[in-house]
Amino acid sequence: MMTSPVKCKLRSTYVFNFKKNCLFCDKKCSIENELKKSKERRDIIYNVCTLHFKQSVEDMAKMRNDEWGKTVLKRLDSVICLVAEEAIYHKSCERKFCKINHHKKKRRGDVRKMKMH
């Protein structure tokens, strides 16, 4: 039987403060901070409250296949459950993250050649 060793709770290698920083942009995430900004620039802060959130962000990160995606993946890797960590994030960051810019890759018809069957 295979049993994985119980991981030590003290992680010294990579610690990300999910309670205080946005899990996407790594910036301080606080409502007070947002309230200081002008209404138009204010961001909505969300708490991760669904268990599948982590999985969907991981999937998204893999799909992005870029530096930002890798950074976020690494971040998520360091925790087991985002809900338990009380992770927070900016709504705008999630939007940006989940929006893959296909136009960037497009280069005058090249895309057609890549059609899969």
Site map 36..75 versus Zn ion, x via CB under 5 A: ----------------------------------------
Distance in angstroms (rounded) separating the CA atoms of residues 104 and 35: 34
Burial class for 52, CB neighbours closer than 10 Å (0-12, 13-18, 19+): exposed
- How many CB atoms are located within 10 Å of the residue 96 CB? 13
Tell the smallest beta-carbon distance from residue 36 to Zn ion (Å).
Answer: 16
Question: Contact between 22 and Zn ion (CB under 5 A)?
Answer: yes
Q: Using CB under 5 A, which of 18, 87, 90, 94 touches Zn ion?
A: 90
CB 100 within 8 A of CB 58: no
Q: Does 87 bind Zn ion (CB under 5 A)?
A: no
Where along the sequence are the contacts to Zn ion (CB under 5 A)?
22, 24-25, 90, 93
